[in-house]
Chain A
Amino acid sequence: MQGLSPDGRGIAVGRELLALFPTLDWLVSFLGAYSDEASLDELIPTMTLEHVRREGGGHAIVLRCAAADAYGVDRLRRVSSATRGQLYTGAGSVFVRWRERDAPFGYDLCAPLSAPAEEVLVVDVNVAASYRTVDRMDPVELIQRLQLRPVPLPLRGIAADPELCGLAELALVLVAPGLAARTLAYLWRLEVPMAGYYVELEDDPRPSLLLRLRNPTRRALDVLSGMPGVELLAPVSARAAVEVGYKHPIQLASASACFPGEEMFLFRGTVGRVERLDTAPRFIDGRHLVQNTGGSRLREIGQLREAELDPLRVDLKLRPSAHPREPRGTLIAWEQVDLLRHLVYLIPPSALAASRLVPLEEGVVVLTGSGVGARSASAAAGLGAGAIVPLGRRLGAVAPGVLVVDGFELWPRVRPALMRQLLGLGADDHALFLSASADPVRVRPEQLLPLDAALIGRMALGEAVVREPVDAPLVPGEVDNQKLGRFALWGFGGLSRTAGVPALTDGEDDSEGLGPGQ
């Protein structure tokens, strides 16, 4: 049969499929069952629905679509047989029965058959029927016009199980025009996160309010579900929502091709209507929809009474403490500098690089990296010569860059950042409390000398003397074809005159009389 060809498994598959259904209800059942299993988007682009009359009498609904592979056709056959449909395959106007148990590779015609004009010939095992088209239906329009089926709600209300109603994550609320303001105010008081906009429904002069509630609370759902004039809709796809308590006969999530363009479809079961919104919903945040009725205003503070804080102020002072601190530096008296010079050879390189030095009247202060103005990450880590050198008095950090001799602390214990602020330190400044009686010392960053550079004497480098190699590098030779001039070639006949000279291979003698002209 023309248009019928075997696939990879040898099954006869035609270019088109034809399914016969006795009534429209069974067709809807077929579409609903198929949409539960697979996507209707594969069928709808090539699907046509026709109301046909049989030649001998009787009516039927015919669904025609392009055939996919045999696996897909088998699924169609299984679903159609469950909904009282008959599946045929073929092309053009002649169709034969799809494969079944008795014919696992399908059927073909025993003899060529042709259908009358504008009729479809359906051939079964032992019977052929001719159908004439009476009416055509648009499948997209049919799906959009289908009546919703009521489904039972939980006995304890929607709030008992919002997951069952599809409202757990997102709920759409269509509010009648007269209830919009009160509903908004109620949801605003409940602090329900919402967004919405006003939509103009067909045959309604005043716009209704469409609200979107994300993760709606159970209380809000409970109140809204029982309110006349307020309809809860559960989104079933990106552009379709069905009223809670109803179900569309077809799984709309698998039929996105039924909703062309950017239109939004609201299937309302209570009033039995399908609302088509012309554009995709553009929700506005709920705080812009409600009306502010509050009258209280914040008052700006005029003048602060700073003078009244003076009795509260206390002095920052040094007091003895037994609290141990990690050493961040050391104060070495000038008499012990010679010992420091010897100890430098023992300090590890990382510690030497992380340490800085400040020469003061009281002695030499060797600082370990304190995080303030540190030259490197290792310096900021804190292991420096100040922690290693066993000389002088240790200095501990009470705040970044604020060092106090060991055995003392600053009192009261204020925040470290505030302490630097109270002392008036710059970003990279250090404050040293070297003794309880003396005033603290401010050390600016330019006064900090790297310990290694300060202690190691300068070395004078001599200029390198580069000696040119005596011998030029060996380079490949270049062929120089010198001028030959015109001369006669001779002297390559005959044998060699002495032993050890290579013997010639060609013994032919030559008789040209001229020698090489070179």
Chain B
Amino acid sequence: MSPPLAAFIQSFVLPLLGGGAVAVRGPIRPSDREDMAQDPGELGSPALRFLRLRRAQQLAPDPVLPDPDLTELTLWIGLHNTLVFDHPERDRVWARASTWRRLEGATRTFLTLPAAADEAEGLARHVSIGAFVQLLRRDTVVATSAGEVRFLGQPMPRRRLRLLAVPPTGHREELVHWLQAPHAPETERLIEDAMRTSPLTCLLHPHTAPPGWSPLQASDFLRSRGSARSIVYTWARAADWVAVGAAVMSALLPSVPLPQTAGDADPPRASVAPSDPWAGGERPELPPPSPPGEMLALPGVVVPTSPEALSAVVGALIHLHFLKVVELQARLGALATGRDPGTLAFLALPLVLPMIASVTGTPSPGLGGAGLGRASAGGAVLPTGGSANSRGGAASGTVARRWAEYLDHLGELVPRRTVDNLLAALVPRITQRQ
């Protein structure tokens, strides 16, 4: 018997969005989903709409959300089935491995949704996926003479309590972050599928984004000032804000490859020259030469970029730097950085601001070259103080001094080659000047 839609919403969807016990039962079949879709009236329940709205208000003060529809129901069913794979009593189900594979395929089908048509639909996806990412699990841990026994998201059965001879105070409860806990292999794969349905969630939690994700997929949210501000503030709240910015920048870098120069356009193919040091008889076997024009390696997926989308993402990342400068935490954060390309590119972004300020604008008046404080074409500028009163002017002077010191600090920290790469790959794509 399929669970009625009302019961599913009451036991799974509403706790998922508003907090509480998110009930995970047996997997929901496609036929069950069709049965639910026969009577979708429960999707318009006021409680559900209210919780979606409150979830969305965490990101935007006055969000516009579409009404819950069958696509969203499909997403919730997919999330539920994803959680089923982690159920501790999964081995009690009578099923062959092939059936579990089919269940995974069906769940993947549930989670495979078309790209969001507009911002409202993308925000609605984030409402569900964002709550899914934040899920917790209360584990009961019992210390026995043979070691610790952990009950995942379940209370301890009384039968086990008697068998293990556990005293009343011999167990404890631990609240773990579900996403960061170990998962079944199927769950790991399905989480990536779930994340792909919501680029906005990937943008807010770039560490959990699936491989191949690009922040340009969510650039629409960064073009509007309000949502961009919320996203940047969410990044700034992270403890390791440099790592967050570096993750976004790492995902952006494949979309802005270095332009091929004349020398790089036709790289010389390796030829066996008489002076070849490998020609001494120990030369490894090379694959047979391929016919001309055949590709030996496929390039990575490059998301088509537009200057507006690029400037929106870059402007938001620079604004993250600016927020940390205002909070007096920029130098401390930038000190503990690694040397990976994403981190260095993220730290080098403020150094190229004078070159792109005419398009992106600047976080505050007086922090760039030409075009100070102007609204950008893509709307990526996030001005913090546009008034010219005296107090604002004094504050801007202090901030400008801190910003200049921070730029000097970054200039010593970031290799010159990284800045040159950004000037060659990123700046022309934003300013459209080759």
A→B interface (CB under 8 Å): 471-472, 474-493, 496-498, 500-506, 508, 510, 512, 514-518
CB distance from B113 to the nearest CB of A (A): 9
Known contacts A479-B136, A497-B34, A502-B74, A518 near B100 by CB under 8 Å: no
1/0 contact string of B112-141 vs chain A (CB within 8 Å): 100000000000000000010011111000
Say yes or no for B397: interface residue by CB 8 A criterion.
Answer: no
Q: Name the one of B3, B22, B51 contacting A518, with C-beta atoms under 8 angstroms.
A: B3
B residues within 8 A CB of A480?
15, 21-24, 153-154
B residues within 8 A CB of A483?
89, 154
Whether A478 and B89, one on each chain, are in contact in the complex, defined by CB atoms closer than 8 angstroms, is no
Say yes or no for B19: interface residue by CB 8 A criterion.
Answer: yes
CB distance from A312 to the nearest CB of B (A): 65
Q: Name, among B86, B90, B106, the residue most crowded by chain A CB atoms within 10 Å (CB to CB).
A: B106
Say yes or no for B430: interface residue by CB 8 A criterion.
Answer: no
Q: Name, among A475, A484, A508, the residue most crowded by chain B CB atoms within 10 Å (CB to CB).
A: A484
Docked complex: B73-108 residues within 8 A CB-CB of A: 74, 83, 86-90, 92-95, 98-103, 105-106, 108
Whether B34 and A501, one on each chain, are in contact in the complex, defined by CB atoms closer than 8 angstroms, is yes
Say yes or no for B37: interface residue by CB 8 A criterion.
Answer: yes
A residues within 8 A CB of B83?
479
A residues within 8 A CB of B93?
484, 486-489
Docked complex: B15-31 residues within 8 A CB-CB of A: 15-27, 29-31
A residues within 8 A CB of B30?
491-492, 496, 501-502, 504
Whether A471 and B54, one on each chain, are in contact in the complex, defined by CB atoms closer than 8 angstroms, is yes
* Contacts between chains A and B (CB distance < 8 A), count: 157
Whether B95 and A489, one on each chain, are in contact in the complex, defined by CB atoms closer than 8 angstroms, is yes
Whether B109 and A503, one on each chain, are in contact in the complex, defined by CB atoms closer than 8 angstroms, is yes
Q: Name the one of A479, A496, A500, A517 contacting B26, with C-beta atoms under 8 angstroms.
A: A517
B154 nearest in chain A by CB position: A481
12 CB < 8 A contacts A-B:
A474-B19, A477-B17, A478-B22, A480-B23, A480-B24, A486-B93, A486-B94, A487-B26, A488-B93, A491-B32, A512-B99, A515-B1
Q: Name, among B94, B102, B103, B106, the residue most crowded by chain A CB atoms within 10 Å (CB to CB).
A: B102
Whether B109 and A504, one on each chain, are in contact in the complex, defined by CB atoms closer than 8 angstroms, is yes
Whether A505 and B21, one on each chain, are in contact in the complex, defined by CB atoms closer than 8 angstroms, is no
Known contacts A504-B105, A518-B25, A477 near B98 by CB under 8 Å: no
Known contacts A479-B153, A482-B23, A488 near B109 by CB under 8 Å: no
Whether B105 and A501, one on each chain, are in contact in the complex, defined by CB atoms closer than 8 angstroms, is no
Known contacts A479-B83, A489-B99, A508-B98, A496 near B3 by CB under 8 Å: no
Whether A493 and B109, one on each chain, are in contact in the complex, defined by CB atoms closer than 8 angstroms, is no
Whether B95 and A476, one on each chain, are in contact in the complex, defined by CB atoms closer than 8 angstroms, is no
Whether B135 and A478, one on each chain, are in contact in the complex, defined by CB atoms closer than 8 angstroms, is yes
Known contacts A479-B153, A505-B108, A497 near B31 by CB under 8 Å: yes
A residues within 8 A CB of B374?
none
A residues within 8 A CB of B100?
489
Say yes or no for B70: interface residue by CB 8 A criterion.
Answer: yes
A510 to B175, CA, bound (A): 38
Whether B33 and A501, one on each chain, are in contact in the complex, defined by CB atoms closer than 8 angstroms, is yes
Known contacts A496-B34, A508-B102, A479 near B22 by CB under 8 Å: yes
Known contacts A492-B99, A501-B37, A512-B99, A487 near B29 by CB under 8 Å: no
Say yes or no for B110: interface residue by CB 8 A criterion.
Answer: yes
B residues within 8 A CB of A472?
19
A516 to B2, CA, bound (A): 9
A484 nearest in chain B by CB position: B89
CB distance from A370 to the nearest CB of B (A): 36
1/0 contact string of B179-190 vs chain A (CB within 8 Å): 000000000000
A478 to B300, CA, bound (A): 38
CB distance from A511 to the nearest CB of B (A): 10
B103 nearest in chain A by CB position: A492
Whether B153 and A478, one on each chain, are in contact in the complex, defined by CB atoms closer than 8 angstroms, is yes
A139 to B99, CA, bound (A): 97
Q: Name the one of B3, B134, B152, B153 contacting A476, with C-beta atoms under 8 angstroms.
A: B134
A488 to B29, CA, bound (A): 13
Say yes or no for B178: interface residue by CB 8 A criterion.
Answer: yes
Docked complex: B148-201 residues within 8 A CB-CB of A: 152-154, 175, 178
Known contacts A476-B135, A481-B87, A492-B30, A505 near B105 by CB under 8 Å: yes
A285 to B190, CA, bound (A): 93
A472 nearest in chain B by CB position: B19
Say yes or no for B58: interface residue by CB 8 A criterion.
Answer: yes
Whether A481 and B153, one on each chain, are in contact in the complex, defined by CB atoms closer than 8 angstroms, is yes
Q: Name the one of A491, A503, A506 contacting B31, with C-beta atoms under 8 angstroms.
A: A491
Known contacts A478-B22, A501-B37, A506-B101, A487 near B94 by CB under 8 Å: yes
A508 to B74, CA, bound (A): 22
Known contacts A492-B103, A496-B30, A475 near B19 by CB under 8 Å: yes
Whether B102 and A476, one on each chain, are in contact in the complex, defined by CB atoms closer than 8 angstroms, is no
**Closest 4 interchain pairs by CB?**
A489-B95, A475-B19, A502-B109, A480-B21
Whether B102 and A492, one on each chain, are in contact in the complex, defined by CB atoms closer than 8 angstroms, is yes
A475 nearest in chain B by CB position: B19
A505 nearest in chain B by CB position: B105
B78 nearest in chain A by CB position: A502
A residues within 8 A CB of B153?
478-481
CB distance from A475 to the nearest CB of B (A): 4
B57 nearest in chain A by CB position: A474
Q: Name, among A489, A493, A501, A508, the residue most crowded by chain B CB atoms within 10 Å (CB to CB).
A: A489
B residues within 8 A CB of A477?
15-22, 131, 134-136
Whether B34 and A512, one on each chain, are in contact in the complex, defined by CB atoms closer than 8 angstroms, is no
B residues within 8 A CB of A514?
94
Whether A502 and B24, one on each chain, are in contact in the complex, defined by CB atoms closer than 8 angstroms, is no
Whether A504 and B106, one on each chain, are in contact in the complex, defined by CB atoms closer than 8 angstroms, is yes
B35 nearest in chain A by CB position: A497
Q: Name, among B20, B26, B33, B83, the residue most crowded by chain A CB atoms within 10 Å (CB to CB).
A: B26
Known contacts A480-B22, A504-B102, A489 near B94 by CB under 8 Å: yes
Whether A476 and B105, one on each chain, are in contact in the complex, defined by CB atoms closer than 8 angstroms, is no
A residues within 8 A CB of B175?
478
A residues within 8 A CB of B137?
478-479
CB distance from B342 to the nearest CB of A (A): 28
Say yes or no for B55: interface residue by CB 8 A criterion.
Answer: yes
B residues within 8 A CB of A501?
30, 33-34, 37
A517 to B20, CA, bound (A): 24
A89 to B17, CA, bound (A): 88
B18 nearest in chain A by CB position: A474
Whether A512 and B95, one on each chain, are in contact in the complex, defined by CB atoms closer than 8 angstroms, is yes
B residues within 8 A CB of A471?
54
Whether A500 and B106, one on each chain, are in contact in the complex, defined by CB atoms closer than 8 angstroms, is no
A500 to B114, CA, bound (A): 12
Q: Name the one of A481, A489, A500, A510 contacting B24, with C-beta atoms under 8 angstroms.
A: A481
Whether A476 and B19, one on each chain, are in contact in the complex, defined by CB atoms closer than 8 angstroms, is yes
Q: Name, among A476, A477, A505, the residue most crowded by chain B CB atoms within 10 Å (CB to CB).
A: A477
Whether B22 and A500, one on each chain, are in contact in the complex, defined by CB atoms closer than 8 angstroms, is no
A483 to B151, CA, bound (A): 12
Q: Name the one of A478, A498, A500, A502 contacting B20, with C-beta atoms under 8 angstroms.
A: A478
A102 to B32, CA, bound (A): 103
Known contacts A477-B16, A500-B70, A488 near B95 by CB under 8 Å: yes
Q: Name, among B32, B93, B178, the residue most crowded by chain A CB atoms within 10 Å (CB to CB).
A: B93
CB distance from B11 to the nearest CB of A (A): 9
B residues within 8 A CB of A505?
105-106, 108-109
Whether B89 and A479, one on each chain, are in contact in the complex, defined by CB atoms closer than 8 angstroms, is no
Known contacts A471-B54, A489-B99, A512-B99, A476 near B131 by CB under 8 Å: yes
CB distance from A142 to the nearest CB of B (A): 59
A505 to B89, CA, bound (A): 26
Whether B24 and A479, one on each chain, are in contact in the complex, defined by CB atoms closer than 8 angstroms, is yes
Whether B15 and A481, one on each chain, are in contact in the complex, defined by CB atoms closer than 8 angstroms, is no
A475 to B131, CA, bound (A): 9
A497 to B34, CA, bound (A): 8
Whether B88 and A490, one on each chain, are in contact in the complex, defined by CB atoms closer than 8 angstroms, is no
A480 to B112, CA, bound (A): 25
